Structure 1
Amino acid sequence: MAHETRSPSRVKNMLNPRSSKTLLVVMVIYALYTILPLAWLLFSSTKTQGGLFSSFGLWFADDFAFFDNLVATFTYRDGIFLRWFGNTLLYVVVGAGGATLLATLAGYGLAKFKFPGRRAVFAVVLGAVAVPGTALAVPTFLLFSELGLTNTPWAVIIPSLISPFGMYLMWVFAADSVPTEILEAARIDGAGEFRTFFTISIRLLAPGIVTVALFTVVATWNNYFLPLIMLSDPAWYPLTVGLNQWSAQAIGAGSQPIYNLVIMGSLLTIIPIVIAFLLLQRFWQSGLAAGSVKQ
């Protein structure tokens, strides 16, 4: 049977349909929607309190006050911003790190071990994913109030240790990325379950672990509502609640607005997340490359 021949123009039309122009326009709009707030934040961080209201938002003001704002942010109220930054790091390292570890262990166990009630656990996990965190904030506050843990770091760390979505993600990832044959071979060779997990499985799970870690880190770093209702002592505030407190100073009688410090603090807040994503994205790429050559 003779093969159908296509003219170069027809092939070009197939490879570049008209819908691609629409897609390009949508992507440009989305890129602008994403970049413009960051550009505004960068330009505004170089302005004084007065310059924020007397100059165009997407360009520099007459006076360049970036370094003055930086110093003022770190020294305002005896350096409380550094305390909030340290609190946020504590919540992320302990809370998000623990959530990643627990999600990895639980997801791996549910994917590779069969036991009675496995389907019920699956249903509970899916139900937990569907429940928004704000719906559980008040019951969690009442529980921790009875335990006397409110206004302590544990009131933020302990709820952050549970990540139903992270566990579900690791469950799905482990089911496909860790071959059962490898586990059976390790067991035949006499390796225990913990040794098999920490020497073999965890390497295969690395892309999934990084993905869960980024989700939990971002969620904990940007957590606002839970610390807001759990903490009353500013010494334990994370950055989200602390910067909101600074912003609220512009409201009411005797207000002392410090919008320039709020903007500089917001810029400093997003830098660690950007750095973490840039450092960890190579694990995603390596995981995708490894999966593309599997037979």
Structure 2
Amino acid sequence: MSKARTRRTAWLPTAVLLLGAVYCLVPVLWVVMAATKSRDELFSTFTFLPGSGLLDNLGDLTAYRDGVFWRWMANSVLYAGVGALLSAAVSAVSGYALAKFRFRGSGVIFTVLLAGVLMPPITLAVPQYLLLAKVGMAGTYWSVLLPSILSPYGVYLARVYAAAAVPDEVLEAARVDGVRELRLFTSIALPMLRPGLVTIFLFQFVAIWNNFLLPYIMLGDDRLFPVTVGLFGLLQQGAGIPALYTLVITGSLLSIVPLIALFLGLQRYWRVDLLSGAVKS
């Protein structure tokens, strides 16, 4: 009786996942279709059928204010790429140290780290602005890059992954052979941490790319805006100039392309690294 009941309800988790997938993908599908429509097609009908204005929309977006959209995209690549790379490096060093070394205050540091993971980033935006304004960095690239380097969640992931993926026996054997700590980390521990660091890089890249409030507070010059803040400004102007709505939709479509490409590209290396790490361990 229980087996028959299990068979009857086995479809339920799949149905819930399918509904969740539809809920997440329908807005993306609408953006893709809306980006292909001209202004008249966009406001005349609401359908999921493609339109005929994609090339014109791309041309108008590129021509808008001498291509300022592509400057916003380049800024986002700079903020997210450099910030995620430095964040992964800081997380690797910090997580490895917390996992493999015992020193006074390590427990307190880890507790504070957990508190940082639970604290919403939005609560830190204004204090960070006040601090950076004191040293004259507000309104510069550094005002967005510096707060992105330290990620409590990234350090936490690196600490957990280092504790599980880097055997203490391997480290002790290397120390017995006279390997110094710096070389021990770069030559032995770091390759074992690579799958976790790829994950940290991906998470941080997406978080910085999608971040809106921090650059919105920090930056006053629209030439320094990332694509999120730039498109928001276009959307506000669209209330008075409806023609800008097509630019906002087309820009929104282009803004997710790097994230999809990054995820698909890193996923391949992620799987390879996980398999190689399993063989090594």
**TM bucket by the smaller chain?**
over 0.9
Residue-by-residue CA offset, 1:137-191 (whole Å, 9 max, x unaligned): 1111111111111110111000001100000010001001000111111112221
What is the DSSP-based 3-state SS (H/G/I as helix, E as strand, rest coil) of the residue aligned with 2:7?
A: coil
Deviation at 1:210, TM superposition (A): 0.7
Say yes or no: does 1:21 pair with 2:11. Answer: yes
1:170 is aligned to 2:178: no
Among 187, 201, 217, the residue aligned to 1:213: 201
- For 1:76 and 1:249, the matched residues in 2 are separated by 13
Residue 133 (structure 2) pairs with residue 145 (structure 1): yes
For residues 104-148 of structure 1, what are the alpha-carbon distances to aligned partners after superposition, in whole Å with 9 as ceiling and x for unaligned? Answer: 110011101111111101111011111111101111111111111
Which secondary structure does the structure 2 equivalent of 1:73 belong to? helix
Residues 1:114 and 2:98 are matched in the alignment: no
> 2:44 aligned with 1:54, yes or no?
yes
Q: CA deviation at 1:256?
A: 5.0
Task: Determine the structure 2 residue equivalent to 1:34.
Answer: 24
CA contact (8 A) 1:72 1:261 kept: yes
Q: Secondary structure at the match of 1:150?
A: coil
Deviation at 1:289, TM superposition (A): 4.0
- Give the RMSD, CA atoms, in angstroms: 2.0
Show the counterpart of 2:260.
274
Query: How far, CA to CA, are the matches of 1:150 and 1:291 in structure 2?
Result: 42
Q: Could you tell me whether the CA contact under 8 Å between 1:247 and 1:257 is conserved in 2?
A: no
Amino acid in the other structure paired with 2:87: A
Return the structure number with greater relative CO, CA threshold 8 A, min gap 6.
Answer: 2
Q: TM-score, normalised by structure 1?
A: 0.90
Q: Does 1:94 align with 2:91?
A: no
Deviation at 1:291, TM superposition (A): 6.6
Deviation of 1:95 (Å) = 1.3
- CA deviation profile, 1:247-292 (whole Å, cap 9, x unmatched): 11122xx545411111111111101111111111134334554576
Q: Is the 8 A contact 1:69 1:261 kept in 2?
A: yes
Contact 1:249-1:257 within 8 A present in 2 as well: no
Alpha-carbon distance between aligned partners in 1 of 2:237 and 2:192, rounded to the nearest angstrom: 50
Any idea what SS the aligned residue of 2:10 has?
Answer: helix
Contact 1:206 1:283 (8 Å CA) reproduced: no
- The runs of 5 or more residues in structure 1 that have no matched partner are 1-9
- State the Cα deviation string for residues 62-116 of structure 1 (Å, max 9, x = none): xx01111112112211110111111111111221111111011100111011111
Match of 2:67 in 1: 79
- Secondary structure at 2:48 match in 1: coil
Q: Cα gap change, 1:99/1:292 in structure 2, threshold over 3 Å: closer, same or farther? A: closer
Alignment of 1:173-212 (within 5 A): 173-212=161-200
Aligned residues with identical type, % of pairs:
43
1:115 partner letter: F
Quick one: distance in 1 between partners of 2:144 and 2:47?
36
* 1:103–1:166 contact (8 Å) kept in structure 2: yes
- Greater helix share, structure number: 2
- Please give the secondary structure, in 2, of the residue aligned with 1:84: helix
**Structure whose alpha-carbon radius of gyration is higher:** 1
Q: Which runs of 5+ in 2 are unaligned?
A: none
One-letter amino acid of the counterpart of residue 28, structure 2: L
Q: Distance in 1 between matches of 2:74 and 2:238?
A: 25
Q: Which amino acid aligns with 1:184?
A: E
2:230 alignment partner in structure 1: 242
